[in-house]
């Protein structure tokens, strides 16, 4: 059977998710003066999280295509 683009990471509905480094995490939390736990969440069982092999406690940076701003960044904390 021919395999098309099977990976869900390539799906048009799925924005780019990227695990961010410790340094960027600190910068992010300092900018908004918040704790990690105050960020929006994403589950470990999320197919995209499985796809990029993120761990619990990681923060993923999501590059969304916005209707108004064209490109927008969003952050989620990986939880159980």
Partner 1 sequence: MELRATVEEEVARELTRMGVEGGIAELIKGEFIPAGLTAEFDELLEMQVGEAYAEDIIRMLGRGEEGEVKLGDIEVKVDKSELSGKIKEELKTKLRDVRMKLSEEKLDAILKKAEEKYEEAKVEPREAVGIVAAQSIGEPGTQMTLRTFHYAGVGAIYITLGLPRIIEIVDARKKPSTPAMKIKLAGEYALDRNKARELATEIEETYIRDIKSKIESSTEDMCVWVSLKEKELERKFIKREEIEEKIKEVGKDVLVETMEDGKLRIHVKRMSFHELLKLEKDLSDKLVKGIEGIKRAIVRRDADGEYMLYTEGSALKKVRRMEGVDFSRTTTNNISEIVDVFGIEAARNVIIKEMMDTLEEQGLDVDARHVTLIADAMTMDGEVKSIGRHGLAGGKVSALSRAAFEVTVDNLLGAAMYGETDELKGVTENVIVGQPIKLGTGAIELVAR
**Interface of this chain with partner 1, residues 13 to 32, rule: CB under 8 A:** 13-15, 17
Can residue 67 be called a binding residue for partner 1 (CB under 8 A)? yes
Q: How far is the CB of 22 from partner 1 (least distance, A)?
A: 22
Q: How far is the CB of 68 from partner 1 (least distance, A)?
A: 6
Q: What are phi and psi of 25, to 5 degrees?
A: -60, -45
What's the first-to-final CA gap in the chain, in angstroms? 35
Can residue 33 be called a binding residue for partner 1 (CB under 8 A)? no
HSE of 3, CA atoms in CB hemisphere, 13 A: 3
């Amino acid at each position: 059977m021919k395999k098309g683009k099977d990976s869900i990471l390539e799906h048009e509905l799925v924005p780019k998710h990227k695990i961010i480094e410790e340094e960027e995490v600190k910068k992010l939390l300092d900018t908004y003066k918040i704790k990690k736990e105050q960020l929006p969440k994403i589950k470990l069982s999320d197919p995209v999280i499985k796809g990029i092999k993120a761990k619990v406690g990681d923060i993923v940076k999501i590059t969304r295509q916005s209707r108004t701003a064209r490109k927008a960044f969003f952050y989620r904390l990986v939880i159980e």
